[in-house]
Amino acid sequence: MTLVREMFVGLWCVAPFGFVTTATAVSVPARSSSGASWEAQVDRLVEHLMKTYDIPGMALGVVQDGEVVFAKGFGVKSRATQEPVTTRSLFHMASVSKPFVATAMVRLAEEGQLDLDASPGEYLDYFELDDARAESITLRHMLTHSSGMPDVLDYHWDKPEDDDECLERYVRSLSDRQLLFEPNTRRRYSNMAFEVLGDVIAKVSEQSFEDYVRNEILRPLGMKDSSFFRPETDPTLRTTGHVTRLRSVVSEVYPYHRAHAPSSTLHSNVDDMLRWILANLRGGTLDDYEFLPKYRLEEMWTLEEELPGSEVGLSWFLDDSHGTRLVSHGGADTGFRSYLGLLPDRNAGFVMMSNSGSASRAQGWVQDALIELLQDRPIQRVNVRAPVDLEVGRVLAEHGIERAVSHYQLLRSNPATFAGNERHLLALAGQAKELGRNEDALALLELNREDYPDSADTFYFLGEWHRENGERASAISFYEEALEKSPAHEGSLQALKLLRE
């Protein structure tokens, strides 16, 4: 993957949402005593969000007062097959995998098989980083994202491997990596750290990571369809990921590589995840099987230490949402989004999963609505508008660049309702580039330059476009303009360094 492709697509992935002119309001009232009213309105809200954000499929489950009160699939497993999503449809859950890793670690600690305050090197004699500070890393630091380890840069989803040595081989490959900061001085999310934790679980338990989690957590809790090992999942239940390339399309890449099983590769469905929620809300026990003592769960849901960065327990993110404690974890990988939230003080929880990257735009609406409804409070009226990049991308796909530019300018002409930002056209340019529509990408970048003349990112991506097209002098000029806007712009600094070497 070339640098410009990585940067264009990466920018698309994180582009914040904005809204355009046409809005449809959805009002969701509080739950009635029968429960039917708010459930019907959740249906309506989800279906509207799926249409607005061009989401092929979603599934949603809710627990209240320790009982399942809602479970439903929406849309299709794949736009290629049009098979409907059900509550058994399997989704790639991405980082919702991590609380299972933490649970396995705490379970092994409870059994006396490992010490969370020990170094990973005590269990993996081959774990090594190119940084003397790594000697002070503990397993607890890894679980709380305070180890200082960097994140994974390339998951090699396009080059999947599933042999038994994948995980150890990956851990051994880290010997040239350096820490980002002194351990336990701040927090920064690290998937890499969780891969190491998974290997610790494998070596301590004398099983593969996937086998241990399946045998000690998933199957005893009745999560019969779930697995971290994709080859053992039921092909008839699997969903297919979708990405936005001007419009929602089936992804050419599936996010699976066994080296990243601990951080990312849980495959699960609503039925199974509702059992996971129930087991957590019931104090670590379900159907007479105790996967953890209750006090250990509370330990996992407690802030370890005040540090700069997000508030994290043992893998779980901690927050106060709408006046109640929220223990949660989200997940995002190519073509999939997921989110699991527990409200322990309300004895409630919910899970969302989707086979579309654009579902991240809908997630907040659904999450807020459910939290309010689970507290028997009416939610505020919400107005959901189709994002600029989806609106203009659709026109570009169907009618070409001239019509797309005209449509954007029409939307842009009404400042009172236009809520776009500089990243929308950059996202579209990335998608056009991914599709080989090189001149369309340039036109979108130039349009963005006109609208946002102080955007360093726009000049940087113009530099990238010209560099990839062999126009070295023009590329340098755009990188320099980016630095005039933002002297510390890292991408431009690196690009100029490479071009001038």
Residues 38-47: tens digit of each pLDDT = 788 889 889 9
Q: Token pair for residue 78? A: 């794949």
The average pLDDT across 402-429 equals: 88
CB 459 within 8 A of CB 41: no
Q: Token pair for residue 28? A: 């969701």
Integer CA distances (angstroms), 208 to 115, 128, 140, 211, in order: 19, 21, 21, 5
Quote the CA–CA distance of 471 and 468 in Å, as a whole number.
Answer: 7
State the pLDDT confidence band at 13, using cuts at 50, 70 and 90: very low
Burial class (CB within 10 angstroms; exposed 0-12, middle 13-18, buried 19+) of 136: middle
Query: CATH 3.40.710.10 occupies which residues in the chain?
Result: 91-374
Residues 111-165: tens digit of each pLDDT = 999 999 999 999 999 999 999 999 999 999 999 999 999 999 999 999 999 999 9
CB 137 within 8 A of CB 183: yes
Q: How many CB atoms sit inside 10 A of residue 164's CB? A: 11
Question: The domain 91-374 belongs to what CATH superfamily?
Answer: DD-peptidase/beta-lactamase superfamily (3.40.710.10)
Residue 331: per-residue pLDDT: 97
CB 263 within 8 A of CB 195: yes
Rg value, the chain, Cα: 23
Residue 264: per-residue pLDDT: 98
By residue count, the chain amounts to: 501
Quote the CA–CA distance of 17 and 451 in Å, as a whole number.
Answer: 17
Mean pLDDT estimate for the chain:
90
Query: CATH 1.25.40.10 occupies which residues in the chain?
Result: 3-20+386-500
User: What's the CATH fold of domain 3-20+386-500?
Assistant: 1.25.40
What percent of the chain shows pLDDT beyond 70? 91
Q: Token pair for residue 402? A: 């001239």
**Of the candidates 262, 255, 248, the residue with the CA atom closest to the CA atom of residue 95:** 262
Model pTM score: 0.87
Map tokens 């349009």 to a residue: 447
Quote the CA–CA distance of 490 and 350 in Å, as a whole number.
Answer: 39
Residue 162: per-residue pLDDT: 96
SS (H, E, C) 208-269: CHHHHHHHHHHCCCCCCCCECCHHHCCCCCECCCEEEECEEEECCCCCCCHHHHHHHECEEC
In the beta sheet, which residues pair with residue 166? none
- Confidence check: pLDDT of 282 > 80: yes
Integer CA distances (angstroms), 365 to 53, 159, 344, 362, in order: 12, 35, 21, 6
DSSP letter assigned to residue 161: -
Residue 380: per-residue pLDDT: 63
Residue 379: per-residue pLDDT: 62
- N- to C-terminal Cα distance for the chain? 22
Sign of CA dihedral 175, 177, 183, 188: negative
